[in-house]
């Protein structure tokens, strides 16, 4: 089960708005796996079974009223000095802070999507799953998956345009 843990955490973080809540949900899923391991081990594709458990747990956690509270964003960190920015830029030739900020911004935009659209987009683009597997995980038809992914990507394009972010 440990081999699947980091992948489950990554998936949960992209599905939920709060990364700490995502880790809690994964922990709950893994605890349930320990209890049901003989049943999970007997299925044809345990990995898909765990993904389905996670998607169901995310859906359930979003329904609980006490889980809807979101922690306030931490106070903004102080800006790096020009000297520190220069050292970062010249150290490896890449902007580590900039790429991290860009990734965080993409995750924020993803989290603004409706639940079903976000699940379809994340499972398709981040996890690389085909539509039929996503349909099994979401308990819907492949046409619904394609529709949700299409709408989600259209919404992301609109949000990127509103934010003034251009594609390279």
Report the first-to-last Cα separation within the chain, whole angstroms.
Answer: 38
Quick one: tokens of 25?
A: 């949900």
d(CA 84, CA 80) in angstroms, rounded, equals: 6
Pick the CATH number of 96-163 from 3.90.1150.10, 3.40.50.300, 3.90.1640.30, 1.10.10.10: 1.10.10.10
pLDDT tens, position by position, for the chain (168 residues)? Answer: 446 778 888 888 888 877 888 888 888 888 888 888 888 888 888 888 888 888 888 888 776 655 444 444 444 333 444 555 555 455 554 555 666 777 778 778 888 888 889 888 888 887 888 899 889 888 899 999 999 999 999 998 888 888 776 654
Could you state, in order of their start, the residue ranges of all structural domains in the chain?
A: 2-67, 96-163
∠ CA(61), CA(63), CA(68), 5° rounding?
75
pTM beyond cutoff 0.85? no
């Amino acid at each position: 089960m440990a081999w699947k843990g980091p992948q489950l955490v990554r998936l949960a973080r992209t599905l939920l708005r709060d990364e700490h809540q995502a880790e809690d949900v994964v922990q709950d899923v893994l605890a349930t796996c320990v209890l049901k391991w003989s049943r999970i081990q007997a299925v044809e594709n345990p990995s898909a079974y765990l993904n389905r458990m996670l998607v169901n747990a995310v859906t359930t956690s979003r329904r609980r009223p006490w889980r809807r509270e979101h922690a306030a964003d931490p106070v903004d960190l102080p800006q790096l000095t020009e000297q520190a920015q220069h050292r970062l830029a010249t150290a490896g030739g890449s902007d580590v802070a900039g790429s991290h900020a860009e990734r965080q911004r993409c995750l924020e935009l993803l989290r603004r999507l409706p639940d079903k659209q976000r699940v379809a987009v994340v499972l398709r683009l981040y996890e690389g799953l085909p539509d039929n597997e996503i349909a099994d995980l979401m308990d819907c038809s492949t046409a619904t998956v394609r529709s949700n992914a299409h709408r989600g990507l259209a919404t992301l394009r609109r949000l990127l345009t509103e934010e003034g972010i251009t594609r390279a």
